Amino acid sequence: MSQSVFGSFKKIILGTLFILLIGFLLIGLAMFGVTDAFISQSRDAAAMVGKEKVSLNDFDKFFRSRLSDINKEAPERMTTKQAYARGLHQQVANTLITETLIQLDADDLGLAVNGRDALELVEGLDVFNNEITGKFDKEKMLQQLYRIDRNMSPKQLEEDIHQQIRREQTIASILAGIVAPKVFADQQYKYMTEQRTVKLLRLNKVAVPVAEDPSDEELKAFIEISNTAYIAPEYRRFTLLRMEPENVLPDVEVSEEEIISQYEYKIKAGQLGTEETRSYQQLVANDKEHADKITAAINAGKNIETAVAEFGLEAPLVYENSGPGASSDPKTGEAAYKTATTGAQTIEGSFSSWYSVVVTNIKPKIVPSIESQRASLTQELKTNKANQFLYDASKIIQDGIDQGMTLEEAGKAAGVSVASYDFTSRLGQTRSGQRLEGLPYALGIATDDKILKEIFLSDLGYDNDVFETSNAGIAAIRIDEIKESAPRPFAEIRDKALAAWHIKHTNEALAELSNNLVVRAEAGENLEALAAEIGKGAEVNETTMIRAARTPGLGAQMLVNLFEARIGQTVRGTADNGLDRIIGQILTITPNADVLTGGIAETLRGQTIEGINSDIQTAYHAAILKENPARIMTENIERTLGLDQ
């Protein structure tokens, strides 16, 4: 199971509401009076929501989880202090406040969670399913909980599930039954399909003179201004404990008894071969005597269609290649499966009704031979054993690290190899530029971005926790030395910097030229004449645009400018390459008079409903916040994050 699945599941447990409400959360809290508290009312609260506390423990766990997620995607690691300065603590506190508000409102609404609903939700998560049976496995759940969060118990999982169901019920109750009038969709359709004819003058780099090369001193000054583009990456020397399934599989042995047992289990569970199916038809009779006559006629050779016509029957219920439980009356299905041959028989149904059941075809059960399945069964058993070994090893290693063992000692106790690596960059390259890709049977660290992220997110000198690799293996790292990023030698980056310098000056020259041409166009000169004056690097074309389709070649802001302009107005902007300049004039605006019908109408109506839903959620959020005023305990948060030292 990949780490991405673990992350997705953990986010499910933390709450669907975070996704539903995050769009308006930060603005909403600011608008409706959530502010820092000047006086801490509770030393163990990150925030107060009415009389309810948002615990510092919950805040700390969520803050560090969010910071870890951010650092995994960011090119440079952000510290706790930097995250606080950028307002991450405010976002986390606001999210937890919203969660508390929803639970308080659920209490007011008297919403209770059916235990069966909670169980079905847990059992429906694929991450807890047994690989062989495909069904919920309690032992698998315990294993996955340990990997996701070593401190999460089944009881905590149950509480999270109950909260999730309650919040979904609460939100659903305020959004139920919303219908957007068709006129809303009509207006949206006309707006999106309005046509505009525009004339565009495009200027590329050939339209401006090439600047002379700067001196080395000028180029060095330019490098100083845009320093980050010319800095050597950070390198780290580290120790890595790692084992992948392919490292374990060659040593895994499977006995003949295990293969036979697995084969028999899969046959019994219906996972190999095909079950017997039967095709049959169910004819409804008035009584037993009537049913007997129908059965006798069909068994004497009369086809079903003729029998239906002669006996004045309703159209029969037809079951093609069905199982015994497919029929509307269980007794007829059972009878169809008890007969050894095709033909008709009289059956008394479950509610004293009578039928003539005609079996038209029997497809016997197909059971593949064990030899035809031996290779796949062997591989499956080996994979299961390898995964179990890795799970057991990860637990031994983690327990060892928790008890003070080094990576080398913990790896030796679990039978997992440990190796030291020289300085490596975030891209998995050595200082000489060699990429550590490894071999097909021994993958290098450059092939696994999860390992690289852990290497460059970890602190110096600590034996870090076990984590899962991209290939469902296990790993743990220790950072032995860090070589900070530093400016590259001038000779090494001169050509790159010179190219960037010329792009900058070309961009500035194109901006100045386009500004001058816009002034002249607004004064009455036409775009064709201006293009002819420029010569090479300038061209004019005419095109028709609609909002619903992106016009190629134009930057996003230029598109906005053209659709906001009036007839005859001149606007300017950049092309989609970010360098070329475009000057545009609106020639015509043609509204769409078509009547909106079909699937487009439903799609636009759905979008309108989503917009209304968002407005309702904002109003709902404001209302419950007014009933339960919220305050963030800044001093407590700073103390918990260690920022008051």
pLDDT along the chain (645 residues), means of 10: 36 36 38 40 76 84 82 74 86 82 67 53 64 65 61 61 60 53 65 87 93 90 77 88 90 91 84 84 90 91 90 88 78 83 87 86 87 90 91 93 92 92 89 79 81 89 90 92 85 88 92 94 93 93 87 89 91 92 93 66 64 66 73 84 68
Q: Give the pLDDT of residue 612.
A: 65
State the pTM of this model.
Answer: 0.45
Residues 232, 429: contact at Cβ < 8 Å?
no
Q: Could you give the count of Cα atoms lying within 13 Å of 185 in the half-sphere of its Cβ?
A: 19
The pLDDT score that the predictor gives to residue 396 is: 94
Q: List Cα–Cα distances, 164 to 63, 124, 138, 171, 177, in angstroms.
A: 20, 14, 20, 11, 22
Q: Copy the structure tokens of residue 423.
A: 């300085």
- What single-letter amino acid sits at 390? L
Q: What are phi and psi for residue 332, nearest 5 degrees? A: -70, -40
Q: Starting from the edge strand earliest in sequence, which strands make up the sheet with 35-36, in order?
A: 35-36, 630-632, 45-49, 52-55
Vertex 126 angle, CA 125 and 127, to 5°: 90
Distances (CA, A) of 155 to 53, 142, 423: 21, 11, 44
386 neighbors 379 (Cβ within 8 angstroms): no
CB 243 within 8 A of CB 384: no
The DSSP bridge pattern shows strands 277-285 and 354-363 to be antiparallel
3-state secondary structure of 57: helix
Residues 246/252, Cβ–Cβ less than 8 Å? no
pLDDT score recorded for residue 326? 76
Spell out the residues 6+ positions from residue 494 whose beta carbon is closer than 8 angstroms to its own. Answer: 216, 219
Q: What are the chain's domains?
A: 3-177+620-640 (1.10.4030), 195-231+495-590 (no CATH), 234-255+372-484 (3.10.50), 277-363 (3.10.50)
